[in-house]
Homo-oligomer: A and B are copies of this chain.
Amino acid sequence: MNSVSVACCQLAPKMGDTAYNKKLAEQAIRKAASNGANIIVLPELMQSGYVFNNKEEALRLSQTIEQAPREWAQLAQQLNIVIIAGFCERDCNNQLYISAALACADGRLNIYRKVHLWNAEKHIFNAGANPPAVIDTAFGKIAVMICYDQEFPEWVRLAALAGADLICMPVNWPDSPRPINERPMEIVRVQANAAVNRVFIAACDRAGTERSIDWVGGSVIVDADGYPLTPLLRNNNQAIEGTIYAKVDIKEARNKSISEMNDVHADRISALYLDILKA
């Protein structure tokens, strides 16, 4: 269990083309599995696309957990892997969520609903109401969160304190200007979140231009010290499709020690942190 291969498939789903996106996801998953990946992460809203014109369109492109997530669960069992992938979830009351499925090799399926919503998502989606579960898989303890969630260090801390070794993040990071030669701040935040908790983080971004939105293409797997193990999938200033792989030694995330007398979690003095619960 200790040495585990993680893959992030930075794909370019087509807005609204669920048949194409289903095939794209399955091909990428099969290829990554054939390359030895144990844990495979796909982007946020993989099965629908991201830039919805309105709630009606999102509703039309939504799926229940019996659709894409169930297919991923079957694939995970068949290939003996863990799959984490984002989808547009419709519940039995026709409420919508930006969700991610975590499908285990043993058939278990867990759904996380994005809690911190980004911009126009607030017009279309309900926010999730629960922290990510930490799922004890054959390849380590995994928690899932989605995109803007990780801009709240509290959220990553919760998952790490609950025992996650690896946090998997389906994301759709819209690109925006930044200083020349600077690493995108999205990745910098991933790095810091990993380092202050000594957890591995795998973020899977997307490629392609969708309704005039470009993407960071910032898919990255960082180690428990916070340093990237993978190259950036960008070319000519554009996110490109591709899969990044990293071998991680899960037990490193179970050692929170960073000096003879320091431990990133035990050194927390939570009695002094009360005020961060202020509204």
- Which A residues lie at the B interface, using CB under 8 A? 115-116, 118-120, 122, 127, 129-131, 148, 151-155, 157-158, 161-162, 178-179, 182-183, 185, 188-189, 191-193, 195-196, 225-228, 259-262, 264, 267-279
Contacts and interface: CB of A to CB of B under 8 A. Distances in A.
A277 B278 contact: no
A279 B270 contact: yes
Nearest to A259: B119
A192 B152 CA distance: 10
Contacts of A192: 153, 185, 188-189, 191-193
Contact of A196 (B129, B152, B267, B276): B152
The 4 closest A-B pairs by CB, nearest first: A192-B192, A153-B153, A119-B259, A154-B273
Contacts of A188: 188, 191-192, 195, 226
Given A119-B259, A120-B261, A161-B278, A196 B151 contact: yes
Contacts of A259: 118-119
A227 B196 CA distance: 19
A158 B227 contact: no
B115 A269 contact: yes
A225 B250 CA distance: 32
Contact of A116 (B185, B260, B269, B274): B269
Contacts of A225: 178, 185
26 contacts: A116-B267, A119-B262, A120-B260, A129-B272, A130-B272, A131-B275, A152-B196, A153-B153, A154-B276, A158-B276, A161-B276, A162-B275, A178-B225, A179-B227, A185-B191, A185-B192, A185-B226, A185-B227, A188-B226, A189-B192, A189-B226, A192-B193, A270-B276, A270-B277, A273-B277, A276-B276
Nearest to A123: B261
Given A193-B192, A226-B185, A227-B182, A154 B157 contact: yes
A273 B158 contact: yes
Given A185-B225, A192-B193, A275-B162, A261 B154 contact: no
Contacts of A268: 152, 154
Contacts of A130: 272
